[in-house]
Amino acid sequence: MKHSFIAHLLFMQALRENFNKFIIRKKMAEKLNKNQMGLIFGVFLAAVHAVWALLVAVIPGLLQQFLDWVFALHFLSPIYTLTSFDFVNAILLVALTFVVGYIGGWVFATVWNWFRKH
């Protein structure tokens, strides 16, 4: 029993060392694709805002209560109120957040690659 425990510990240590050496370091050394990072950031931000817009359309009252609660958690009095849902505004919100996210992801990858090179 004692030998199998020691063997298990040695095996786990070897796995950990190999994982760190061959996977993490190799992945960290790779250059980030600026277009892929832009798309990942853009799609993520657009998806979050699309869900927000959908919730504003479906349950505005509950969202207003949620916003009021979040302000109260921060020791602030609620100053914002939700307006009625507008489809054009929702499309503009999702499109704008995609563009901003894409630019942010592209800049992030550019800076990352620059620091990895230098």
Together in a domain, 4 and 60: no
Contacts 24+ apart (CB under 8 A), 82-89: 82/56, 84/60, 85/53, 85/56, 85/57, 85/60, 89/53
Domain count, the chain: 2
pLDDT digits (tens, 9 = 90+) for 34-74: 999 999 999 999 999 999 999 999 999 999 999 999 999 99
Q: By C-alpha distance, which of 115, 114, 101, 118 is closest to 35? A: 101
Q: What pTM does this model have?
A: 0.72
Please indicate whether residue 19 or residue 82 has the higher confidence score (pLDDT).
82
Together in a domain, 87 and 38: yes
Together in a domain, 95 and 57: yes
pLDDT digits (tens, 9 = 90+) for 5-27: 676 666 667 767 766 665 555 55
Together in a domain, 26 and 39: no
Q: What is the pLDDT of residue 116?
A: 86
The 8-class DSSP code of residue 74 comes to T
Q: What is the pLDDT of residue 24?
A: 52
The 8-class DSSP code of residue 24 comes to I
